[in-house]
A and B are shown apart, each in its own frame.
Chain A
């Protein structure tokens, strides 16, 4: 209980110190906010693009129209054929779309419901949607496609949405870029916090030496600085959320205009609260770690243990 109270006291004492020096605190937090806002905004843009891309089939798909349309056992034959195909190592999954299912879907999407009802029989062939493993190279994919198209059971085949594969590759590239940027910015955040903590230790060196002399454990001496670092990370992330939102707001109009030109209703949303919470917690953890490393290093010089 006393221990918990102590921690609360240190927390409020640290908040008080930050509050009492508003200008330096504000400057540091803004610096941290800008550093974290950049990857945050880029991530949001890439993520929104990926979501649009994901509204189509993300994976490449090969459609096989089978040539046993008028067979009474066509469902069984199609499924058996699919089972055989699944033995091929390049194929991840196969979906069987029966003519009646395809017809229902077509009616629903096209709006030609009545016209279709007047057809004497279902004109659609049984269809196998083949999903190769997404890791396949383009050449391997085309080879597989040729192999499948040549099979006697297959009336015709089509390789769908190759351009989406390209988009996915580009997005993967951007995601990697954002990831790298985030790592760099995390290092930046740690350096900023480390420098701020170092100044704090220098400013309080008299106090630290006295506490060490009267028997204050290192954990006790370290604690306010760890809170200092973690709080800077936490508030820095909140600043980043505000700065990032401002950025997204400013980007929103031009993006909407651009999207309209592509007949798309593409739109970047705001950060969701879980994402902000996750970033805030990670930033707090980074601040804590940066503070810990810095304080240990400074204490080693300020109050060395004679040996």
Chain B
């Protein structure tokens, strides 16, 4: 299902590198100096218990919140990300858990939402439908009727549409927030296969998940956060589930 090839993370240039990121909400220190590296062609899973700082770190990278301190480098150059537009301009795109789809519109319209093909003010329906068909085919996403409203699709198909839409902007890095949380077994498999294809396209993928089975199935590396700090960085293929769980719960210090 997922690609079996070993990753070559040591040689690839890092796409995103965050160092010593902190963020405080009132009395709560959500992030207390977290580091994160994500490379091109690599799926990194970000895991941790509730309140470990996963969401805050992702929000700091996607521009939903501004970090209090710390540095973020993109392609080796220091960047400032304080607004969602900053992240988008760098080529970082986020698929949030609520997917942000318009259920009354069809798949084609949702894929092009906000960036409709047009001539004058008139919609270029044929161009958009062809682009949608080609994009979905290249990702091996099967939707019988791209003119059906999104309300008629399954949860896995909706997730796939949301991910496909993220790709239309030709991003370098995709952040997926709990993409399999609400899905059944078969649909989870579809979405994980899609995540694998993002990697094959050379994208940097950051996957936030609670589900360690999914994490082990698709990720190349697992980064564990605990109480706002890094608690481990593992190569997935060489690490047992027990080791990851121990790092999440704080039973052991993880391998750096």
Do chains A and B interact in one complex?
no
A residues apposed to B, CB below 8 Å: none
Interface of B toward A, CB cutoff 8 Å: none
